[in-house]
Amino acid sequence: MKENEGVGEFQDMVSEVLIRHRSVLDCLSKYQESTARVNRSIIKAVTDCGCISISANKKQYPAKDSLKECGKLMDSHLKGKLCESCREVVAEELGKHLFYLTALCNTLDYKLDDLISNEHERISMLGHFLLS
Ligand SMILES: [Zn+2]
């Protein structure tokens, strides 16, 4: 079985259902809007619900540890866990973001499956040297 089999089916379905936003301009604006909505849903979990909070300060890199060890020490700056309701909202916004990302791929004739595979390979090769 192919690794990302469902991805191709998802991309085909996005193409079928997306009639209004076939223009690359529409795709770009909806894609950008969906990014903002993902961010907003996470911010709302902090400021409206309060199930998670953000506590951040300057990153402290240990001087001699390996990069692998360093990753364990890096902080997400998140405290708490998303409650059921916020988790649902964030997941919905992430889903819409994937939808418009896929629509953008369709417009520019990229196969999402290929992008995932290529990125997977790139990450595998770079391993712990991938710092961004
Ligand atoms: Zn919540």
- Which CATH class, in words, describes the domain spanning 5-125? mainly alpha
Give residue-wise pLDDT tens across range 41-89: 999 999 999 999 999 988 777 666 566 666 666 788 999 999 999 999 9
Phi/psi of residue 2, nearest 5 degrees: -70, 145
Say how many Å lie between the CA of residue 7 and the centre of ligand 1: 29
Q: Is 110 left (phi over 0), alpha (psi -120 to 50) or beta?
A: beta
Say how many Å lie between the CA of residue 81 and the centre of ligand 1: 8
> pTM (2 decimals)?
0.83
Say how many Å lie between the CA of residue 107 and the centre of ligand 1: 35
pLDDT at 127: 74
* 18 vs 73 pLDDT, higher one: 18
SS3 131: coil
Say how many Å lie between the CA of residue 35 and the centre of ligand 1: 19
